[in-house]
Amino acid sequence: MKLLKATTFLVAASMATGAVAQQDGGRLDLIVQPEPPSLMLGLVQNAPTQMVAGQIYEGLLRYNTDLEPQPSLAKEWSISEDGMTYTFILNEGVTWHDGEPFSSEDVIFSTKFLQDNHARFRGAFSHVESVEAPDANTIVITMKEPYGPFINAFEAGSMPIVPKHIYEGTDYATNEMNATPIGTGPYEFVEWEKGSYIHLTKNEDYYLDGLPHIDDLYYRVVPDAASRAVAFETGEVDVLPGGAVENWDVARLTEMDNVCSSSKGWEFFAPHAWMWLNNREGPTADKRFRQAVMFAMDREFVKDVVWNGFGTVPTGPVSSKTNFYTDDVPQYPYDPEKAKELLDEMGYDGTPVRLLPLPYGETWQRWAEAVKQNLGEVGVEVEIDSADVAGWNEKTANWDYDMAFTYLYQYGDPALGVARNYVESQIKKGSPWNNVEGYVNPELDALWEQAAVEPDNEKRQELYTEIQQQIVEDVPVAWLLEIEFPTIYRCNVKNLITTGIGLNDGLRDAWIEE
């Protein structure tokens, strides 16, 4: 057994980052957008829920910005050499917000709870043979087979630990306690004024001495992007999480006094944007057409103008922030002439194509307009479809599109967040997150499978490099941007972003300088 990390260093390390002594107290106002449907992280895992409930619930581990595991509820952990056994030692003296003690029983219960309610957890745990608790502070997980990315599946959003004493034997979905979530995290739920704000307060009995620092957290609901910017300007809120304001406002806001911004805190997610290209029918079924699309789009322009310079133009399916990335792949610079050639070569007959933008605000709408204009310039007539979130979901999940915008998280490992979009076994109607484009390549499927269970990281890198090279040649989807969501905050808020999921669990260590 190989001990990877010990907990005591971390607190010291984070203390060391601040030159000034940390101060306790104060109140922090943050934007949450849109209003989360629920704060019960075990039942609902959408982005706003994760952002708020990440302060209430905890996972066994956290990940730093280099995606290395850090202690959370587990103070120590180890992986057997063969990759078949994971052992976690839990912190002692942890209590739930209602005062009940926390133990390994809660972890065991949570794995059952999440099996029923958490799709991503279900995916990761399909590789697990058994979970056992030899004592109150130890968890032993036995795998069916080695699964490299498994160690990346323990943060609060991927595997939130929920209280057994509240949920056991009840109907989870209608349990009244869902409205007043009980976790082990650094902040406790106080009240939720629907449509207005969510108030969390400091967990005085938190098991890490001296944490958290801030007394009150207010997550403010402001539905209009312009109003959110105003709220920050007028000092009503202190933190604008990534995506809270449109990109055009970012530059203006960061020029204000005492305002800082950071692009960190998204490494674990590494949001990756692309256009689904329907590989089944229409012009997009032709590889040359898809390549032409890649050449026709001025992705640098979009990055500079639509995204105000934030982000990186991707080389392929794997984000440069995700493990096992390579840039040694075919390149698609902006080259309309090349695009036209490809279209001529395939004998494109001018059939118009539909483009479904992502209904997430003005940025995405502008992006679609820019793409439409770019494609129009090489002779491809684009009709922008419109749909709200539900309509977008419906259309992509049922393959009713020619081209459709999307962006997905990568969760630190290609096996977790990338493979699902390209392997044949993931072609299933009804979900907008799998192989929606209908790309079929049995040869690559085998490589994906091999890479996922390969215990040796160097070998994994080789496999993933090969995959990336081939897939970029085929252009099953049109990769657009590695999205960066800068977090904007007052500079006197310190230690706000310390992990790879940023604000989602960052407030444990944050403090406010007077």
Partner 1 sequence: MTLWKRFLTNRGALLGLAILIAVIAVALLAPVLYPRGPWAMVQRPFLVPFSTDGLPLGTDTLGRDVLAGLVYGARVSLLVGLVSTLMALLIGVPLGALAGFYGKWVDEGAMRFTEFFQTIPNFALAIVLVAILEPTLTSITIAIAIVSWPPVARLVRAEVMSVTKREYVDAARLAGLSNLSILVRQVLPNTVSPIIVMASLMVATAILLESSLSFLGLGDPNIMSWGFQIGAARTVIRSAWWLSFFPGVAIVLTVLALNLIGEGLNDALNPHLSRKGRS
Partner 2 sequence: MAIAGAILSRLLKAAITLLAIAILNFFLVHAAPGDPAAVLAGEAGAADEQMIADLRAQFGLDQPFYVQLARYVGNIVTLDLGYSFRQGQPVLELILERLPATLILTLTAFWISLVAGVALGVAASARVGKFTDTLITGTALLFYATPLYWAALMAVLVFSVQLGWLPGFGYETVGSGFGGLARALDILKHLILPALTLGLFFMAVYMRMTRASMLEVAQQDFVKTARAKGLNPATIRRRHILRNALLPVVTLAGLQAGQLVGGAVLTETVFAWPGIGRLMFESLAARDYNTILGVFLVSAAMVIVFNILTDLVYRLIDPRIGHKA
371 lies in the binding site for partner 1 (CB under 8 A) = no
Nearest to 94 by CA among 125, 72, 67: 72
Nearer to partner 1, 385 or 445 (CB): 385
Q: How far is the CB of 362 from partner 1 (least distance, A)?
A: 5
Nearer to partner 1, 313 or 370 (CB): 370
**Rounded to whole angstroms, how far apart are CA atoms 95 and 453?**
36
The stretch near partner 1 (CB under 8 A) out of 168-176, 182-190, 228-236, 445-453 is 228-236
365 lies in the binding site for partner 2 (CB under 8 A) = no
Q: How far is the CB of 37 from partner 2 (least distance, A)?
A: 5
Task: List the beta bridge partners of residue 240.
Answer: 488
| Among positions 10, 30, 32, 35, the unique one binding partner 2 when judged by CB under 8 A | 35
Task: List the beta bridge partners of residue 150.
Answer: none
Helices 336-346 and 287-296, axial angle in degrees (round to 10): 160
425 lies in the binding site for partner 2 (CB under 8 A) = no
| Among positions 249, 335, 413, 437, the unique one binding partner 1 when judged by CB under 8 A | 249
Nearest to 3 by CA among 78, 92, 98: 78
| Among positions 74, 229, 463, 477, the unique one binding partner 1 when judged by CB under 8 A | 229
385 lies in the binding site for partner 1 (CB under 8 A) = yes
**Rounded to whole angstroms, how far apart are CA atoms 393 and 484?**
23
| Among positions 84, 177, 259, 305, the unique one binding partner 1 when judged by CB under 8 A | 305
Q: How is 82-150 classified by DSSP, letter by letter?
A: TS-EEEEEEPSS-B-TTSPBP-HHHHHHHHHHHHHH-HHHHHHHTTEEEEEEEETTEEEEEESS--GGG
Q: Which pair of structure tokens corresponds to residue 282?
A: 């229409």
Q: How many beta carbons lie within 10 A of that of residue 264, not counting itself?
A: 16
3-state SS string for 222-280: CCCHHHHHHHHHCCCCCEECCCCCCHHHHHHHHCCCCEEEECCCCCCCCCEEEEEECCC
User: Considering CB distances under 5 to 8 angstroms, the limit depending on partner class, which of partner 2, partner 1, none binds residue 491?
Assistant: none
Binding interface with partner 2 (CB under 8 A) = 27, 29, 34-35, 37-38, 40, 44-47, 116-117, 119-120, 122-123, 173-174, 178-179, 193-197, 199, 216, 218, 220-224, 226-227, 230-231, 233-234, 236, 359, 387-395, 397, 408-409, 428, 430-433
Binding interface with partner 1 (CB under 8 A) = 224-226, 229-230, 233, 245-246, 248-249, 252, 305-306, 357, 359, 361-362, 365-366, 368-370, 372-373, 376, 383-388, 391
